[in-house]
Amino acid sequence: MKTLAGFVVTLSLLAFAFAPSPMMGLPPPPPSYSPTLISPMAGQVLYTGQTFRVEWKNSVPTQVIYPAWCEIELWLSLDGGWTWAFQITPSMDPNTSFFYWVVPNTPTTSALLDIRFRGEPWYPETHHAQTTSPFVIASSGQ
């Protein structure tokens, strides 16, 4: 009987040793994330204190079920993309396509947004700077 139990344990260990990688390795990669900014549009003027709907679309035409650990964030650059000093959204579901943003009191003629995707700890953050859509943040004059 001990021989049978030892055989079963050995067989179980071999099954796990030769299990396919999806079962024992890293999770499959999430679907590709490639967003395009819809608004603000290139050259658009936003005013400090204004509530503005920032909107983007993903390259995947329908909503995808991303793993629960995947997220996106939007970051703001005031110098044409040289630095990304302000995170303007919380971490959000990658299927999110808009965010209401209160424009900060940081006037600039070269504002850009970066839509960042990540799935920590397995997939590092990817940056999607919207360089074709620079916009202006103007003082509200109030």
Query: pLDDT at residue 18 above 70?
Result: no
74: left (phi over 0), alpha (psi -120 to 50) or beta: beta
Number of domains observed in the structure of the chain: 1
pLDDT at 30: 63
Bridge partners (DSSP) listed for residue 118 = 71
Element holding 22 (H helix, E strand): helix 21-24
90 found inside a domain: yes
Count other C-beta atoms under 10 Å from residue 10's C-beta.
10
The answer to whether position 55 is within a domain reads yes
Residue 8 lies in a domain: no
| Closest alpha carbon to 55 in 11, 5, 99, 9 | 99
Q: Please, what is the average pLDDT of the chain?
A: 83
Question: How do residues 100-140 score in pLDDT, each as one tens digit?
Answer: 999 999 999 999 999 998 887 777 888 999 999 999 999 98
- What CATH number is given to the structural domain containing 73? 2.60.40.10
Instruction: Tell me what pLDDT residue 20 has.
Output: 53
Q: Does residue 49 sit within a domain?
A: yes
Range of the domain at 116: 30-138
> In the prediction, which pLDDT does 45 show?
98
Is there a domain that residue 12 lies in? no
> Is the pTM higher than 0.85?
no
**Does residue 14 form part of some domain?**
no
pLDDT digits (tens, 9 = 90+) for 59-83: 765 666 667 778 899 999 999 999 9
- In a domain, residue 20? The reply is no
